[in-house]
Amino acid sequence: MSATIHHASGTLHVPEDTLADWPSAQFAYTKERGIVVKALGLELTSVFQAIFAVDAQTIIGEEGLLRASIRRKAISPEEVFKSASRGECLVAFDRLCRSLHLMNHLAGPQKGQTLFLNVHPELLITVEKQHGETFERILQDQGLKPGNVVLEIIEAAIPDAQEADLIRAVRNYRQRGYRIALDDYGHANLSRLLSLAPEIVKLDKALIHAAEGNSKAQRLLSQLVEMLHGIESQVVIEGIESAKQLAIAKESGADFLQGYFLAEPKYLNKHL
């Protein structure tokens, strides 16, 4: 069982594990939105937001984000994942989305850069073992390895009672070679942060917004970046939406920058 997608830069084949999960899914390339897949009665595709080095010019990677629609009517990713959860196919659906982002990434101009992918929080606590095993095969099928990927986790979505499951999941992913990023970090759960020891921390956009007109908030932002460097995590300032915020982000000592002021999320064809 195989499927080949012809796109603007060449061809890709749909990974065998993805086809095994979704034998009735229909993959195609469109000029408007890149590679799309029809599954669960939805049309799914990817947009990508660039992540920059601190010079705000050099792209070091891109984050894959889901776009979903029914008959061209947009549906939020949150609603789509709720539907998949109700249909008891959340694990396979999350993997389908990551596979779709992977294919669009490989068809685009940033394919040599790091791909940042979100992992649904529920997977971290419902999957008991072998986290990332199937997706590792999908990566290998496409000529990549886990080290080419950063998995983004919103650890604040995991209840304290299930922290052990979260820590186990992160350990399993890391043992396979994935890098881990904590997304939307902004609270003071230092104990959990130390336990997870993420390679990358993406700061909640509320922090840079608060710092825009507040010198105390600016100092606190710089101190937070310094603290995260102290536990050997690199830091991404997210949500940069103005020149002032960009200047503050650069001054904070952060490693990477992301936000609409630098680059909006784009479909594959917008890169070409």
Q: What is the pTM of this model?
A: 0.94
Check whether 146 has a pLDDT greater than 50.
yes
Check whether 42 has a pLDDT greater than 50.
yes
Write 209-212 long-range contacts (CB < 8 A, 24+). 209/239, 209/241, 209/245, 211/245, 211/248, 211/252, 212/242, 212/244, 212/245, 212/248
Whichever domain contains 256, its CATH number is: 3.20.20.450
| Domain extent for 152 | 48-63+91-271
Total number of domains in the chain: 1
> What pLDDT shows up at residue 121?
87
Domain-embedded: residue 100: yes
pLDDT, mean of residues 163-171 = 92
Check whether 117 has a pLDDT greater than 70.
yes
**Position with higher pLDDT, 26 vs 86:** 26
Domain-embedded: residue 108: yes
- 42 beta partners: 39
Instruction: Give the tens place of pLDDT for each residue, 20-31.
Output: 999 999 999 998
Q: What is residue 146's three-state secondary structure? A: helix
> What pLDDT shows up at residue 272?
43
Domain-embedded: residue 247: yes
Domain-embedded: residue 170: yes
Domain-embedded: residue 252: yes
Domain-embedded: residue 186: yes
**Position with higher pLDDT, 217 vs 186:** 217
> What pLDDT shows up at residue 85?
81
